[in-house]
Amino acid sequence: MFKVRTSVRGNTLTRDESASLGITPEAIAQSSRSAVDLEDACLFAAFVLPEHAGQGLGRRLVQAAEAALFARHPAAWLETGAASRATGFYRRLGWAFDADAGAATSGW
C-alpha cells in the first residue's frame, strides 16, 4: 500500500513527505485493514497504481467501500482537495462537494 500511495499522480507525496506525516510502511501495515472508517462513515483512501489507472479498479474499490459504509450509515463523507484530480473521479461516482463542510459527501 505504501508503494501505491507514494506512486500516484494526483495528491502526490514523496517518501520523506509521507514520513513527516506519519505515513510509513510500518504505520500503513499496522492500520490498514480497509480504506474506510466505518465508525466515522468516512472513505479515506482510494488509490491505485498509475499503471492500472483507467481500468475500473478505483471505481470498484470505491463501490466496495460505499457498500460497507452505507450498510451502517445513511450518508458518508470523504475529504479531498477541491482542485485535486480525485475530485472529478469522486463526482463521476456520485459524490457531491459540500462547500460548508469542505468535504465530499454521498448518500443513498
Calculate the alpha carbon distances from 66 to 42, 50, 74 in Å: 9, 22, 11
SS3 104: strand
Q: Which has more confidence, 106 or 5?
A: 5
Per-residue pLDDT tens over the stretch 37-78: 899 999 987 888 788 888 998 899 899 889 999 999 998 998
pTM, two decimal places: 0.64
Other beta carbons within 10 angstroms of residue 85's beta carbon come to 14
List the domains of the chain with CATH numbers. Answer: 33-107 (3.40.630.30)
- To the nearest 5 percent, what fractions of the chain are helix, strand and coil? 40, 15, 45
* Cα–Cα distance measured from residue 100 to residue 83, given in angstroms and rounded to the nearest whole number: 16
